[in-house]
Amino acid sequence: MKKPWGMISYILFFIGLALAVICGLVFPGNAMVAWVLVVIGLIIGLMHLWSKDINKLLLATIALLAMTAAFAPITLLGIGKMIGSVLVNFAALMAPVALIAAVKALIEVGMQKE
């Protein structure tokens, strides 16, 4: 990925991460926040269409999405709900990135010559 696009994607990721954390704690379950995070995730995913590290991106997004339900059983002081809300927002950010990366990876696998 070219350096300017990589930097823009990096900045968008951290903006989305900050929104996911702050809004997950302050406005849990807000649909508007989820839509904003999905749009940011789509932009990040589209920026990585031409990236050569698409497999690393796909692996990272799968790992991040897999942990979204891991904190739900923690009931002490409502920590599980708070962390769960943040992770659901984070999943809204990363799911479009994973979708785009997965489709690209599948297309690349299908186009490989044996």
What are 55-81's pLDDT values in tens digits?
787 788 778 777 766 766 777 777 777
* Residue 67 in tokens: 């942990």
Handedness of CA 27, 18, 98, 41 (dihedral sign): positive
**Count of beta carbons in the 10 Å neighbourhood of residue 47:** 20
Distances (CA, A) of 51 to 84, 98, 105: 31, 14, 11
pTM: 0.81
Calculated CA dihedral for residues 66, 68, 70, 73, nearest 10 degrees: -150
C-alpha neighbours within 13 Å on the C-beta side of residue 48 = 28
The one-letter code for the residue type at 22 is I
| Domain regions of the chain by residue span | 3-111
* Residue 111 in tokens: 């186009």
- Averages of pLDDT over runs of 10 residues in the chain (114 residues) are 75 93 89 94 86 77 74 73 85 89 84 72
Rounded CA-CA distance 66/54 in Å is 18
Task: Return the pLDDT at 56.
Answer: 81
